[in-house]
Amino acid sequence: MSAIQLAFLLALTGTFAAVTWFAVVVVRGAARSDGGAHPSWALVRRLGRSPDERAELNRWAFYLHRLTGMAIFGFLCLHIVDVSAYTVSPSTYDDLHELYGTAPMRLFESSLLFAILFHTLNGLRILAVDVGDLGQVPAQRLLVGVVAVTVLAGAAGTALIMAPVLT
């Protein structure tokens, strides 16, 4: 393993640690708030309410939107460093990009695809809910659509991303 590959893997590990720390902060914030989507008996009681009385799915979408945004930002920072390796030398850039052909990095790219899909589609859903002044039920239906499209498009993209290492 070359020095540039090791440096990139260390930076990637640091990014994972930062995203994990942010996830812990989000979950702890949810647990402290009155009505956070933390696992508890209160959650079970909230899920028993009618959709008009609760916003559980939207709350989970909010937390996931924050987490995917942080993950995408972390990768964007790494991507800038990654692409800037070309300014050092094309061979350094090529050496670094050999990592992207490995199975673990392809799994990472697949998870990044899911994060980008959900974050983008949920952002558009939030925009539609705000601009269209939609109520609780249409907002939840849009969220179900966002999750469905994310899963279907993400699965298709994952099949394409993983195909070279699985064949």
Q: What is the pTM of this model?
A: 0.81
Which pLDDT tens digit goes with each residue over 86-110?
888 888 888 888 888 889 999 999 9
Q: Which residue, 88, 87, 115, 119, is CA-closest to 127?
A: 119
Per-residue CA distances from 129 to 27, 55, 160 (Å): 25, 13, 33
Q: Please state the rounded mean pLDDT for residues 109-129.
A: 94
Residues with Cβ within 8 Å of residue 54, at least 6 apart in sequence: 46, 47
Question: What pLDDT is recorded for position 42?
Answer: 66
Q: Please state the rounded mean pLDDT for residues 55-69.
A: 85
- Amino acid at position 84, single letter: S
Question: What pLDDT is recorded for position 133?
Answer: 82
Q: Spelled out in words, what is the top-level CATH class assigned to the domain 3-166?
A: mainly alpha
Domain range list for the chain: 3-166
